[in-house]
Each structure stands twice: as structure tokens, then as C-alpha cells.
Structure 1
Amino acid sequence: MATYLYRLAQGSFRQSSKAAIESTLDALKKLPGVTSVTDPYQTNQVAPNGSLALAT
């Protein structure tokens, strides 16, 4: 299993466009050997302050 951590120096993932993260998740899903990718918005893996989001 791999972990992908999104980190913002400023701002919040809750305020930013989900499209950018979803685009990255789509690209990760296409990598060889990847069988699943979790969406940090759907799994509530966004830090309370919005500066970090975790996909696995």
C-alpha cells in the first residue's frame, strides 16, 4: 500500500478546488500495480485546519 500526502503551505483543501486533487487521484489510479485509490474527501482524511489531505 502506498500513501499520498497533499500539503498546503497556505490555504485549505476545504476551500480549494477538488478538481485538482481528483485529477491527481485519477492519474494515480492509472499507474501500473495500483488496484485502488481512496479519496480524502470521501474518507474524511482532511486535517481539521485543511492543510493536509491523505489518499491511500
Structure 2
Amino acid sequence: MIGLWLFVGATFLEPSGGSFRSTAGSGLVVACLSGYDAYESREASAIVSDSDRG
């Protein structure tokens, strides 16, 4: 959520020049990394639940 807020907030708050690019870029990086982390944890959870079935 923070990554998306940084990305969208940069558009609405309209910071000047380099500040806009920095904020939007940071937001994209945080959003992508958190999405990847959520994907990996879902996959790991599926592997653990499969091994519990025996």
C-alpha cells in the first residue's frame, strides 16, 4: 500500500522535477518488491500445506 501511495501521491501532489521522479520511482520499486514478496509467501505457504497432508 505504501508503494502505491508513493506512486499515486506523486501524481496528485505534483512535486517539482527530480522530486517527482524520485518519489514515483521509489513507489514503483516498493510496490513491485511487496508484490513479489506476497507471491513468494503464497507459494511457500502452498508447499508447507502440501507437506502437512502427508
TM-score band, normalised by shorter chain: 0.3 to 0.5
* TM-score where L is the length of structure 1: 0.32
* TM-score where L is the length of structure 2: 0.33
More helix by share: 2
- Higher RCO, 1 or 2 (CA under 8 Å, sep at least 6)? 1
More strand by share: 1
